[in-house]
Amino acid sequence: MFMLGFLIGFFVFLILILSLSCYFVVQEGYVGVLSTFGAVHFKNKQTLITYSAGIHFKWPWQKLHVINKMEQNIALKEDGLDASVIASDGTLLRIESILRLTPHPDFLAEYLLGIESPKEHLSSLFNCLVRSEIANFGWASKKENHVYLESFLSKDSMSLITPHSAYAVIKKQRIQLNQAIAQRCAQYIQTKYGVEFQSVDLINILPPDELVNALNAVLQSQNQMEALYAHTQSECEQKVLSAQHAVTIATHQADAIAIEIEQLGAYLQTLKHQGTLSAYIDRRKNEVLSASKTLFYKNSQSIVK
């Protein structure tokens, strides 16, 4: 009796487990594909049998494969940082770019069965295409390259942003570069990998670190030069104003002395007309001599103290 109850319970549990594994749910934005012992099911030789969003039946020995049919972004990154790309003139640039694509509904077999890791494979391919396109972009002629190299070797770091540099060309023709990368990606990333190309977003192009440091040094030097120039100009203006004030004061003092001399001359002239000039001079002489502590006078033989 106990064994019979155990067997009934075991069979009920087995049926329950099998019933739970006989259906699957597909979320919105995804499609499901079933495989039986490793073999997927086709409508014809190229089109997979897919299951849209909802609940569906399957046998317990069948396996479900879910494909994300929403738009996916693949970023051009290196260890989570902006990728370093060599431009046509050897300049090392940092690029931030994103590839947008979706699995093609008519070529899901290529996307699911063609490559083991579609996103990783497409990311590597996208990196190669972007690097190749940037490396060949803006390389107009050997003569232009020679001119740029001469300017780079003979001038300071500011020559890195001359009109002949790849960085300057890329910054100036960014739209053309984005279009060229999009055309190249559309050419190589299509039905071959079971995806539908949407667009490429070239978000940011950063100059090399050497150029950034050089430009920062130039800006810092320029700021220091402007501050020093303003300080020197202020000091010079203050000195000029002080000199002008000193000249004005000296001029007034000289005018006052001239007026005093003129008045003294007129007073002495008056005393002369009055016949009292000699008495005035003697009196002033006596006042000066009486106020002095030491007197020197000269006779015919020697100087007596």
Structural tokens at position 155:
């001038």
Res 158: pLDDT: 42
Q: Are strands 54-57 and 81-86 parallel, antiparallel or unpaired?
A: unpaired
Q: Where are the domains of the chain?
A: 20-68, 72-207, 218-283
Q: What is the pLDDT of residue 6?
A: 61
As a whole number of angstroms, the longest Cα–Cα distance in the chain is: 169
Dihedral angle over CA of 162, 163, 166, 167, nearest 10: 70
Question: Can you tell me the distance from the alpha carbon of 153 to that of 148, in angstroms, rounded to the nearest whole number?
Answer: 9
Question: What local confidence, expressed as pLDDT, does residue 87 receive?
Answer: 76
pLDDT at 143: 44
pLDDT at 282: 81
Q: Which pLDDT value is given to residue 78?
A: 66
Q: Which amino acid is at 236?
A: C
- Per-residue pLDDT reduced to its tens digit, 139-162: 543 344 444 444 444 444 444 444
Q: What is the per-residue pLDDT across 38-78, written as a single tens digit (0 to 9) for each?
A: 888 888 777 788 888 888 888 878 888 888 888 888 887 76
Class of domain 72-207: alpha beta
The dihedral region occupied by 265, where left means phi > 0, alpha psi between -120 and 50, and beta the remainder, is alpha
The pLDDT value recorded for residue 159 is 44
Q: Please state, in angstroms and rounded to a whole number, the distance separating the CA atoms of residues 263 and 248.
A: 22
Q: Which residue has the tokens 């003697």?
A: 282
pLDDT of residue 249: 92
Q: Which residues of the chain have pLDDT under 70?
A: 1-2, 4-20, 78-82, 138-164, 190-191, 208-212, 293-305
Instruction: Output the pLDDT for position 40.
Output: 85
d(CA 60, CA 14): 12
Residues 6 or more apart whose Cβ sits within 8 Å of residue 245: none
Q: What is the pTM of this model?
A: 0.51
CA 199-205-208 angle, to 5 degrees, is 150
pLDDT at 295: 62
